[in-house]
Each structure stands twice: as structure tokens, then as C-alpha cells.
Structure 1
């Protein structure tokens, strides 16, 4: 019975994942980059009503560590990308939505990260929703606090996540072992019960046959 419940739960979850496959999510960007490597600055803004047509442009701003003001570093419109700041010249690539003016992923990729890239990044979605009789403009802002290090380090979240993964694997193995023992005992008990019933049936058949033989012998006398 437990196995049937598990199977039904698995099928239900699979169906749910299938239905939600097209859903948009807004995960947070990573916040630690390594000198000399590439790094993706994540920025996502899901459109809440998928049936409404929309267009969007994106602007990225950067405030270096210790600075007060933001400077514009990147723009993405229907005409394409533009790097707005010399510090990032030839080091920024578009990593967001492609082949669509309805931008929901505005991520960009920094090439050859330097220590001077440490700071605060902000991306702005300037989105126009096109309804039947009017247009509605919205502005969505996302912030990424980036730290650049000389060498890659494992964060606490990564360590905890790995530990939880191993704990989950061990827990599942223990649960599977318990389930196998339980099923084995159920099958063994059912087999023993069947053997007892067969033995009782055979005993009753022999007893009945003996009784009939005795009765026949008494009639013959």
C-alpha cells in the first residue's frame, strides 16, 4: 500500500512540474565573483499577465565600492546593446532574453572580472504593457551587491546545501531499507499463513477420509 501511495505522489508531482514548466521565476543573482573569470549578473522580472503584449528596455547602473553615485554602464533596447562606460568596454555581454522585445531576463555577463568591479549593480526594466485601448508603463528595479575575491571560496550556504544533500541521500536509503524489510515481513507472514491454511486443509481432508473409512468398515461388519 505504501508503494502505491508513493507512486501516486510521484505521478502527481510529475504532472504538477509539467504544468508549471512554463512558469517564470525570479531567482537572486550570485554575489561573489573571482578575479580573471567571467561572472553573470542575474536580473529577472517576470511579467505577471502573460496574455498581455509588452515591450521592454533595460538599463544597468554601477556604483563602485566607496563611491556615492551610480553611473550607467549598459543599455539594451530593440536596437541592440550599448556599453555606456569605459571601465566595462568590451567586457559586457548580453545574457538575457533573446529574439524578443518582451524582455523578462536582463542578465549580463562580465568578462575578465577585476577587483574594481566590486560594488552595487542596479538593473531597470522599463516595460510598456499594450492593452486594447491604452498603454501602461512600469519600471522594475533589481539590485545586486557584488564582491570580487582573488580565489574562489565555498560559502556557508554551499556547504550546508551539500551536507543536506548527503543527509537526504542517506535518509532515503534508510527509508528504502526499512520499506524492504517491512515488505519482506509482510510477504513472509502471508506465505506462512498460506502454508498453515494448506496444512490445515490437508489435515482436515485426511481426517475426513479416515472418518469415512472407519464408517465404511463399521457398516461392513
Structure 2
């Protein structure tokens, strides 16, 4: 292929990589907004004094079957052996049960439906005492024509509260790999440009030599 094609393709790849890197943090949540249920693990690191979402999603296996569900949250603090019931959500009614979380927990899950699939909650003004294990418990009843079938799902979230936000290892590695890819592509582009320059220069020299080797036409005497 021609050198111009190589340059065009390489530049396009570099620009695309940069676009993906800049767009990824913004575009990532969009994949969850298409109406389909996707079970995503909760974040596990909260910053003291900030708010934090405890995620808990349990997708219904039979999407065409009507259902109703109740969600409960339990908490086991560091050093403790038993879970304490802290929150309940039933029939669009949220109840904070444990005094430690009074006025600090909001429902952040499914709304305007008895068929809960997202039981996430939001903790306001996180404290270091909120570190520990949270258990999300779904009790779902599938409503068939002739009978009802009850299922239960339990999910655990191990929450750590820190004084200052830290970047996850996966985020750091992804950024490093992105920069390595961009630098590698730019080096490849440089090599291709040098190659094309030499090829064009060689073709020009060959044309000059061919032109010089052609004998000039004898002049005609009048």
C-alpha cells in the first residue's frame, strides 16, 4: 500500500485511542441505561465525610414473569461476629432500623415498582465506624398463574472507609497501558514516516539518474 495510506491509518488509530481514553469515564455508565438488568459489583472504598452508594443488584431470571420483592440490609462492624439489621424496603416504604444509621441512609434502588431488582442504598456522611461487611438480602416472589414461587438472594459488600480517596490498581494499570499503546503507535508512525521519506527520496534519485542517462537529441541544421 502507499505511504499516504499508512500515515492515514496510523493517525486514525492514535486519535481513536485518545478518544476512547478520554471518553471511557463518561461513556461507561451508558451501557447500564438500556433497560436490561446487569449485575454490577458495588464499590468497596468510601471516603470519610462523603456519601457512598452501596450497590446491590439481583436480576430476575425469568424477565417475563411478574414478581414482587422485599430488600433488607444488614451490617457487621469490624471486630463483631453478628450482623445487625439496619434497613428494610418493602412496598415503596423505606425503614431505617439501626440507630447508627438514623437520617443517614436513603433508598437508591428500584422505584415505582414492587418488582425490585436494584436494592442499592446511599449512606450520607460516612464515618470510620461504617467500615465492615454489609449484607444485602433479596426475598423475591415470582407470581405464576397457578402458584407463587419464592427465591432469596444474598450479596456481601466489604466496605473500607479511608480518610482520602485512593485510585484503584486496575485504574492505574489501565492508564499506564493506554499511554504505552499511544507511545508505541507514535513510534511506529515515526518509523513509517522515515521509511516513506527514504523511499520517496530513492525514487527521486532514480528518476534523476534515468533522466541523466537519456542522450540529448541532436540539433537539426537549417
Pair 99,200 (structure 1): closer, same or farther in 2 beyond 3 Å? farther
Q: How far apart are the structure 2 equivalents of 1:42 and 1:60?
A: 11
Aligned-residue CA RMSD (Å): 3.9
Matched position secondary structure for 2:177: helix
User: Is the 2:67–2:114 Cα contact (8 Å) retained in structure 1?
Assistant: yes
Matched position secondary structure for 1:167: helix
1:42 maps to which residue?
55
2:98 maps to which residue?
85
Q: How far apart are the structure 1 equivalents of 2:62 and 2:211?
A: 73
Q: Aligned to 2:140, which of 127, 130, 141?
A: 127
Q: Aligned to 1:152, which of 164, 184, 187?
A: 164
Q: How far apart are the structure 2 equivalents of 1:172 and 1:65?
A: 42
Q: How far apart are the structure 1 equivalents of 2:93 and 2:168?
A: 40
* Greater C-alpha radius of gyration: 1
What runs of 5+ residues in structure 1 fail to find an aligned partner? none
Once the two structures are TM-superposed, the CA of residue 193 in structure 1 deviates from its matched residue by 4.3
Matched position secondary structure for 1:121: strand
CA deviation vs aligned residue, 1:115-151 (integer Å, no higher than 9, x gap): 44333211112223455765543211111223445x2
CA deviation vs aligned residue, 1:22-50 (integer Å, no higher than 9, x gap): 46443433334444432222212233454
2:25 maps to which residue?
none
Pair 98,190 (structure 1): closer, same or farther in 2 beyond 3 Å? farther
1:114 maps to which residue?
127
2:23 maps to which residue?
none
CA deviation vs aligned residue, 1:92-111 (integer Å, no higher than 9, x gap): 10112334444332111122
CA deviation vs aligned residue, 1:62-88 (integer Å, no higher than 9, x gap): 233343332322111233212223332
1:189 maps to which residue?
198
Give yes or no for the alignment of 1:31 onto 2:65.
Answer: no
Q: How far apart are the structure 1 equivalents of 2:114 and 2:198?
A: 66
**Scaled by the length of structure 1, what TM-score is found?**
0.68
Q: How far apart are the structure 2 equivalents of 1:44 and 1:109?
A: 14
Q: How far apart are the structure 2 equivalents of 1:31 and 1:164?
A: 19
1:98 maps to which residue?
111
Matched position secondary structure for 1:181: helix
Give yes or no for the alignment of 1:59 onto 2:72.
Answer: yes
1:199 maps to which residue?
208
Pair 118,160 (structure 1): closer, same or farther in 2 beyond 3 Å? closer
Matched position secondary structure for 2:158: strand
Greater length-normalized contact order (CA 8 Å, ≥ 6 residues apart) = 2
